[in-house]
Structure 1
Amino acid sequence: MPHVTTSDGTELYYTEQGSGRPVLFSHGWPLSSDAWQVELKVFADAGYRAIAHDRRGHGRSSKTYAGNDMDTYAKDLSELVEALDLHDLVVVGHSTGGGEVVRYAAQYGEGRVAKVVTVGAVPPIMLISDANPEGTPIENFDEIRSHVLKDRSQFWKDLAVSFFGFNRDGAAVSQGAIDDFWRQGMLVNLSAAYDCVKAFSETDQNGDLEALAVPILIAHGDDDQIVPIAAAAEKAIRLVKDGTLKVYPGAPHGIFGAYQDQLDQDILDFIRA
C-alpha cells in the first residue's frame, strides 16, 4: 500500500486514480479515504488525478497518540502534497476534512493550491460562544467523547443514522451505508478518535478563511444535523475573499444518493470554471 512518511515518522496512507490535474480529497471524522471511493472514480473518469489519504490515526495510516489536532493535520497534508509534488491543486474537504484543507491552503498552499472546496465543513468554529451563539454546546461534544470511550462500535452505528439523514420522515435508509460508516469508524485509533473531537469542534478557523487567497466553493446541506449550516457555511462565506456558497435543500451531512450526484457535478463545474 502506498504511504508517505511525515517528518515525525507518521505513515500516511493514500490512494490515487487517473491522471491529469490533481484533485485531493480529505475525509470527515471518523472515516477514511474510502469515503471518497465514488469521487475517486468519477473524477478520474473526468480526466483528473484523484487522490485521497487517510488522516493520521484513521484508516490505514499510523495509529497515532500524538498530533491529533488541526495544525498537525494541515502539516501532514502539506508533506503529502510535497512528497507527491502536486501543483495547480484542487483540495476538497468534507466535515473535519474541510477544516484540514482550509488550514492547509491558508498556511501552506501558496504556489500549489489553485482552488478549495469544502462540504459540510466545520470552519469557522463549531463550539458555541458569545461570538458564535449559533454554535454547538460543549456538553454535546463531551457526550460524543463519552460514547467513543464507552462503546464506539455501537456509537458509529447510531451516529450514521443522523449523519446520512436516515432519521428523517420518508428517508430511504441504506443499511449498507450504515454498515460502511461503522466499518470505517472501527479502523480509527481510539486516542485519535477522541482527540479529533476537540480538533473539529474547538479549532478557530476564522483567520484561515480570511487568509485564503484562492477561490473557494462552500457546499452545505441545509438539513445537516452534524455541522449545522448557520454556524458553518453561512458564516464562512462572509469571511472569504472569493467564495461561492452552494446550499443543498434537504441534504444531510453525509455525502450520499442524489445529493452526492449533484455535488460531484457542481465540484467538477467549479474546477473547470
Structure 2
Amino acid sequence: MPFITTKDKTEIFYKDWGNLAGKPVVFSHGWPLNSDNWENQMFFLASKGYRCIAHDRRGHGQYLDLKDVMMVGHSTGGGEVIRFLGRHGTSRVSRAVIVGAIPPVMVLKESNPKGLPIEVFDGFRTAMVKDRAQFFLDVPIGPFFGFNRPGAKISQGLIQSWWQQGMMCGFKGAYDCIKVFSETDMTEDLKKIDIPVLILHGTDDQIVPIDASAREGIRLLQKGTLKEYPDGPHALPNICIEEVNQDLLTFLES
C-alpha cells in the first residue's frame, strides 16, 4: 500500500486510482472519517480518465509532486483545502471544490453571529469521553446523513461504514480535531484564493448549517460559485452520489 513519509517521519496512507497520466483530482475527507468516504466519487472520475488521489489525514487513518490539480474537500476536508490554498497559494492547483464545508468558521463569536455556540462542540467532546463508540453511532444514525428526518431512507450500511471509519481514527486525533474544525477561522484564506472554487452545500445540513458556512464563504471568494442542494444533508457525497459526481465532472471539464 502506498504511503508518504513526512518530515517528522509520519507515514500518511493514500489511494491513487485511475489514469496516472490523467488530470489529478485530490480528495480530502471529513471528520472523523478517512479516504474510504470518497470511494463513489473516485471510482466515477477514475472511470472518466482522471487520476484520483485521496489521503488519510494525520491521526485519522504532502501531496505527491502534482500540478494542475483540482482539490476536493468535504466538511473538515473542505477546511483543509481552503487552509492549504491560503497558506501555499494556487501555483499547482487549477480549481477547488468544497462540499458541506466548514469555512469560514463554525463557532459562534462576535464576528460570526450565525455560528454554533461553543456548547455544541463541548457536547461533542463530552460525548466522546463518555462513550465514543455510542457517539459514533448517534452521529450517522441522526444528523450526518439526515436519517433523523421524516421519511428518510435509512441505510444501515452507511451507518456501519461511518462507525467503522470513525473508530479507526485515533481517539486523541479525533478529540483534538473538534477544536480545530470548530474554531479555525479561514476568512482570510478564502479572500486570498484566486482560482475558481465551487461550493456544494445542502440546505438541510445539520452538521455545518449553510447560513454560517457556504452563504458566508461565497461572499469572500474571488471566483466562487455556490450550488445549493434543496433539503440536502451534510453527507452529500454519500446521499446525492450521482448529482455530486456530475457536478464534479462538469466543473473539471469547464
TM-score bucket (shorter structure):
over 0.9
Report how many aligned residue pairs link the two structures.
251
Which stretches of structure 1, 4 residues or more, deviate above 6 A after TM superposition? none
User: Which residue of 170, 173, 193 corresponds with 2:151?
Assistant: 170
Distance in 1 (alpha carbons) for counterparts of 2:87 and 2:125? 29
What does residue 251 of structure 1 align with?
232
Distance in 2 (alpha carbons) for counterparts of 1:125 and 1:212? 16
Q: Does 1:128 align with 2:98?
A: no
Q: CA RMSD in A?
A: 1.0
Amino acid at match of 2:76: T
Question: Matches of residues 3-82 of structure 1 in structure 2 within 5 Å?
Answer: 3-19=3-19, 20-59=22-61, 79-80=62-63
Shift of 1:245: 0.2
TM-score, normalized by length of structure 1?
0.90
Cα deviations by residue, 1:28-61 (Å, 9 ceiling, x for unpaired) = 00000000111111010011000100000112xx
Q: Does 1:93 align with 2:93?
A: no
Shift of 1:192: 0.3
Structure 1 stretch displaced more, 148-157 or 25-34: 148-157
User: Which residue of 185, 190, 215 corresponds with 1:234?
Assistant: 215
Amino acid at match of 2:183: E
Tell me the percent identity: 53
Please list every run of 5 or more consecutive structure 1 residues that lacks an aligned counterpart in the other structure: 60-78
**SS of residue in 1 equivalent to 2:54:** strand
Distance in 1 (alpha carbons) for counterparts of 2:43 and 2:230? 26
Distance in 2 (alpha carbons) for counterparts of 1:12 and 1:139? 32
Distance in 2 (alpha carbons) for counterparts of 1:124 and 1:96? 11
What does residue 212 of structure 1 align with?
193
Cα deviations by residue, 1:9-46 (Å, 9 ceiling, x for unpaired) = 21110001111000000000000000011111101001
Structure 1 stretch displaced more, 146-155 or 248-257: 248-257
Shift of 1:109: 3.8
Q: Is the 8 A contact 2:114 2:211 kept in 1?
A: yes
**SS of residue in 1 equivalent to 2:240:** helix
Amino acid at match of 1:9: K
Q: Is the 8 A contact 1:16 1:40 kept in 2?
A: no
Shift of 1:170: 0.5
Amino acid at match of 2:190: L
TM-score, normalized by length of structure 2?
0.97
Amino acid at match of 2:132: R
Distance in 2 (alpha carbons) for counterparts of 1:120 and 1:258? 12
User: Which residue of 71, 78, 86 corresponds with 1:106?
Assistant: 86
Shift of 1:255: 2.8
Distance in 2 (alpha carbons) for counterparts of 1:204 and 1:258? 28
Q: Does 1:267 align with 2:248?
A: yes
Shift of 1:263: 1.2
Q: Is the 8 A contact 2:108 2:116 kept in 1?
A: yes
Distance in 2 (alpha carbons) for counterparts of 1:257 and 1:12? 24
Cα deviations by residue, 1:187-236 (Å, 9 ceiling, x for unpaired) = 01111000100110000000000000110001100000000000000000
Please list every run of 5 or more consecutive structure 2 residues that lacks an aligned counterpart in the other structure: none
